[in-house]
């Protein structure tokens, strides 16, 4: 059956941000984020090198979004409409009412509370509007800022997958985090 397609006009508003689907015209800004070694330090693939990679990824994301297979929203600043990152929901299991989240933030936007603000709105939408029971996140355990972001929302570290990824010859572990809707409502 599959998850119903997400609304085509979905836009989540926070005090300083809008979370909305990225469009083809965002490719250059998206490449700037995904090509930054600081942003990609703990990611599960190497930094991008070409505009074609960004364009291809955006096209794939739009198709998956339209099919209800994943939800990837760009994070845009309200004051200048600049794309500064993204939040995504993927590996959706309708029968279990669960899925995974992922996120990233441009290096020049880090340390200003933008990710906490974006994730707070994103998680609230997933739990209340999509009626999810469980959310999961997988991060590199060395990424302490990401761990703090998840823990602030009530996610609990539930496990560790040792040497899960090998990116450019470097092995890394994955820390698994989970949040139950009931946990989030009690925060």
Range 90-103 burial, b when 16+ CB lie within 10 A, else e: eebeeeeebbbbbb
Quote the pTM value. Answer: 0.92
The pairs formed by 110-114 with CB atoms below 8 angstroms and a separation of 24 or more are 110/145, 114/16, 114/17, 114/75, 114/77, 114/84, 114/85
Whose CA is closest to 69, among 92, 44, 39, 35? Answer: 92
- Homologous superfamily (CATH) of 13-185 is Gcn5-related N-acetyltransferase (GNAT) (3.40.630.30)
How far is the C-alpha of 100 from the C-alpha of 118, rounded, in Å?
16
- Per-residue pLDDT of 27-66, as tens digits, reads 999 999 999 999 998 888 889 999 999 999 999 999 999 9
CB 23 within 8 A of CB 64: no
The tokens describing 89, both together, are 């929901």
pLDDT over 80 at 186, yes or no: no
pLDDT over 50 at 3, yes or no: no
Please state the φ and ψ torsions of residue 76, each to the nearest 5 degrees: -120, 135
Q: What is the mean pLDDT of the chain?
A: 92
Domain range annotation of the chain:
13-185
- Residues of the chain with pLDDT > 70: what percent? 95
- DSSP annotation string for the chain: --PPPPPTT--EE-SSEEEEE--GGGHHHHHHHHT-HHHHTTSSSPPP--HHHHHHHHHHHHHHHHTTS-EEEEEEETTT--EEEEEEEEEEETTTTEEEEEEEE-GGGTTSSHHHHHHHHHHHHHHHTS--SEEEEEE-TT-HHHHHHHHHTT-EEEEEEEEEEEETTEEEEEEEEEEEHHHHHT-
Q: For 100-122, what is the mean pLDDT?
A: 96
pLDDT over 50 at 16, yes or no: yes
Tell me the pLDDT band of 9, cut-offs 50, 70 and 90: confident
């Amino acid at each position: 059956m599959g998850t119903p397609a997400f609304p085509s006009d979905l836009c989540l508003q926070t005090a300083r941000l809008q979370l909305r689907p990225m469009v083809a015209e965002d490719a250059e800004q998206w490449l700037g984020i995904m090509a930054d070694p600081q942003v990609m330090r703990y990611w599960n693939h190497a930094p991008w090198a070409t505009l074609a990679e960004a364009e291809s990824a955006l096209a794939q994301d739009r198709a998956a979004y339209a099919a209800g297979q994943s939800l990837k929203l760009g994070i845009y600043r309200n004051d200048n409409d600049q794309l500064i990152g993204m939040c995504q929901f993927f590996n959706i299991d309708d029968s279990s009412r669960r899925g995974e989240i992922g996120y990233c933030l441009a290096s020049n936007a880090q340390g200003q509370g933008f990710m906490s603000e974006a994730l707070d709105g994103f998680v609230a939408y997933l739990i209340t509007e999509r009626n999810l029971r469980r959310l999961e996140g997988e991060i590199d355990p060395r990424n302490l800022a990401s761990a703090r972001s998840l823990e602030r929302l009530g996610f609990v570290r539930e496990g560790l997958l040792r040497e899960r990824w090998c990116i450019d010859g470097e092995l890394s572990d994955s820390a698994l985090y989970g949040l139950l809707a009931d946990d989030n409502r009690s925060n």
